[in-house]
Amino acid sequence: MENDLHKKIKLHTAGATVRHASAFDHLETYRNDFELSKEFIDQWVLPLYMNIRNMHDRSWADYLIQHKEDITEDVTLALLGDFNWRTRTVGAYLSALKGYRHQVDLIGTHLLKSEVCYAGDLYAVVLAYYNEPETVAYLNRYLDYYLQKPELYFDQEAVLETIAYLDTVNSTSHLSRHLNQWNAMLESRGELSRIRNIQVAGIMEEQEGKGHAQKLLKSLNHIIVNPELNTKAVAEQIQFLTELKAFFD
C-alpha cells in the first residue's frame, strides 16, 4: 500500500493528475529508460519551466542564449522523454529553438495523448510556430476528440485559441469546424456567454465575411471563446519564439 501511495504521489507531481483512456492510447510515446540527473535538471529544467511562458520578464531568454551551444538533440530528447510536465514543456520549446523538425511527431503525440497536465498549451504554440499541414493536423485531431470530452478539463481552450490564430495567419477556416462542438462542451459545463458569441462572430466576419458571421451568430445562442484576446497572446508567444530563434540559427 505504501508503494502504491508513493507511485500516486509521483504521478501527481509529474502532472498526471487525471488518468484517462483515450482514442490515442495506441500511439507510441517517446519515453526515457533512465532517470534525469540532478545536474541535468538544475541546468535545463529549474531555470526555465516556470518562465518560458512569461512574456513580461524575458530574462530567461538570456539564459538560453548563453547556453545555446549546449542545447543538443540529446538534451531535447531527454527532456521530452521524461514523464513530467516541467521537462516536456522545456523540451518542446528548446526543440523548436533548435529547429529539430524531426521531433514534431513526438511533440504532436504528447499533445494527443495528454499524459501530463500544464503542457498542452506549450505543445500547441510549438506546433503553430512550425505552421505546416502536419502540425495543424495535430491541433485539429486534438480538438476533434477532446471537445467531445467535457469531463476532461485539459487544453481544449488553448488549442482552439491557437487554431483561431492560425486561421488569421493562413486565411483558413479551421475554427468554424470546431465551434459547435466547443459550444456543446461549454454548455455541458455551464460556461456559456452571449457576449463571447458576438466576439467569435467578429473573428469569423474578418475571416469569412459578414454574411457567414451573421449566419453563425444566429445558429449559436451563446459564445464560445474570446479569440481576440487569446489569439493576441498566442501571437505574442510565437513572435517572440521566432525572434529568439534568430540567435540559434
Domain that holds residue 185: 2-14+33-245
Q: Is residue 208 part of a domain?
A: yes
Contact predicate 208/171, CB 8 Å = no
How many percent of the chain have pLDDT more than 70? 79
pLDDT on residue 22: 86
Q: What is the CATH number of the domain that holds 172?
A: 1.25.10
Global pTM?
0.80
From 106-110, 201-205, 225-229, the region with the lowest mean pLDDT: 225-229
From 68-72, 89-93, 118-122, 198-202, the region with the lowest mean pLDDT: 198-202
Q: Is residue 235 part of a domain?
A: yes
Q: Is residue 83 part of a domain?
A: yes
Q: Quick one: average pLDDT of 236-242?
A: 97
Range 32-41 contact pairs with CB under 8 angstroms and sequence separation of 24 or more:
32/78, 32/81, 32/82, 32/83, 36/78, 36/82, 36/87, 40/78, 41/87
pLDDT on residue 204: 64
Q: Is residue 100 part of a domain?
A: yes
Q: What distance in Å separates the CA atoms of residue 193 and residue 112, rounded to the nearest whole number?
A: 28
Contact predicate 75/103, CB 8 Å = no
Q: Is residue 168 part of a domain?
A: yes
pLDDT on residue 65: 97
Q: Record the cell numbers describing residue 180, joined without a space.
A: 459547435
DSSP alpha helix (H) spans, the chain: 2-14, 38-44, 59-66, 73-80, 85-98, 104-113, 120-130, 133-146, 156-170, 174-189, 194-208, 210-219, 227-245
Block residue for cell numbers 485559441 = 161
Q: Is residue 20 part of a domain?
A: no
Q: What are φ and ψ of residue 74, in 5° steps?
A: -65, -35
Q: Is residue 144 part of a domain?
A: yes
pLDDT tens string 8-54: 334 434 444 566 788 999 999 999 999 999 999 999 999 999 999 99
pLDDT tens string 126-155: 999 999 999 999 999 999 999 999 889 999
- Does the structure show a pLDDT above 70 at 226? no
Number of domains into which the chain is organized: 1
Q: What distance in Å separates the CA atoms of residue 196 and residue 201, rounded to the nearest whole number?
A: 9
Q: What distance in Å separates the CA atoms of residue 83 and residue 15, rounded to the nearest whole number?
A: 8
pLDDT on residue 220: 57
Q: What distance in Å separates the CA atoms of residue 132 and residue 150, rounded to the nearest whole number?
A: 28
Q: Is residue 24 part of a domain?
A: no
Q: What distance in Å separates the CA atoms of residue 97 and residue 17, rounded to the nearest whole number?
A: 29
- Does the structure show a pLDDT above 90 at 157? yes
